Amino acid sequence: MTTKEEIIKKSPYKPKLVEVIDYHRETNDTFTIKLGWKLKHEPGQFVFCSLPGIGEAPISICSHSDNYVELNIREVGNMTRFLSKIKKGDKLLVRGPYGRAYPMDKFKSHNMIIIGGGSGVAPLKGSVEYISNNRGDFGEVSLFFGFRTPEDVLFRKRLDVWKDEFSMYINFDRVEGKTIYGGKQGFVTERVKEVVGDNKDAIVFICGPPIMIEKVAEILIDKGFDEKQIYISAERLMYCGIGKCGRCMIHGKYTCLDGAVFRYDELKDYKDD
């Protein structure tokens, strides 16, 4: 007979206890934690964080390092609010990594266009760090980030570096007073329309609210981009992360296994809600 200990030992859901080595408040409702977790992972993957008695949440890895994992979390409900109380030195239960990563090897020597809206900037941060760590492998890199207001800007220390390393375009839905990073008022979609040319070579990553993803993809396709040049991130409610519960299905695809990164043509007939 299999004992409870043996079942737990074999379980794919078994989490690992890791230390929180840094905690940084980004905005009113978001924070970034750095975990002392030497985890082999690729840009675009995610992990699950759990708090016993509270719940479990899938969170994208927003860094690219063999020595640590960073997670940027928005407080939206019970689990994420409890997570926000965590402190440097605390331990957190985690499992992963999960999901299909961006096939970064395929993009060598291509120009890269990275477009993020709001908390959608966080999952893209890991891929921009990857590009920065392997700068010689890529052509021109353009970053387009949209935030509600200058107070909602994430990762200011990184943006300070990236504004000199890449072409960076920031947009704000509203600017009252002084803008930052030369950010313009208006949706990021408008900036993409204004700045991006007919770039047949570029690979595009888009992450953000579904409506933003849809509009940006439409603009790019109108400009002559092929659907196969565009990669999007799809967020779905998830329980297991390993293709067992079926909670994350989109048109016969498991977001947890086949995504959360998809090439645009793989989901093109699907309209998000």
Candidates 247, 253, 263, 268: give the one binding ligand FES (CB under 6 A): 247
Candidates 20, 35, 79, 154: give the one binding ligand FAD (CB under 6 A): 79
Q: Which does 244 bind (CB under 5 to 8 A by kind): ligand FES, ligand FAD, none?
A: ligand FES
Residue 199 binds to ligand FAD (criterion: CB under 6 A): no
Q: Which does 44 bind (CB under 5 to 8 A by kind): ligand FES, ligand FAD, none?
A: none
DSSP state, residue 54: T
Instruction: Answer for the pair 147, 172: CB distance below 8 angstroms, yes or no.
Output: yes
Residue 123 binds to ligand FAD (criterion: CB under 6 A): yes
Region of 55 please: left (phi>0), alpha (psi -120 to 50) or beta.
left
In the structure encoding, which two tokens stand for residue 64, read together? 């690219």
Q: How long, in residues, is the chain?
A: 273
Sign of CA dihedral 254, 143, 201, 215: positive
Candidates 7, 19, 67, 76: give the one binding ligand FAD (CB under 6 A): 76
Distance CA 96, CA 99 (A): 9
* CA dist list (Å): 45 to 22, 102, 122, 131, 170: 21, 8, 12, 15, 25
Between residues 188 and 248, which has the closer beta carbon with respect to ligand FAD? 248
Residue 77 binds to ligand FES (criterion: CB under 6 A): no
> Beta strand 141-147 with 46-51: parallel, antiparallel or unpaired?
unpaired
**Please, which of residues 163-192 interact with ligand FAD by CB under 6 A?**
none
Which residues make up the interface to ligand FES (CB under 6 A)? 238-241, 243-248, 254, 256
Which residues make up the interface to ligand FAD (CB under 6 A)? 46, 55, 57-60, 72-74, 76-80, 119, 122-123, 235-238, 260
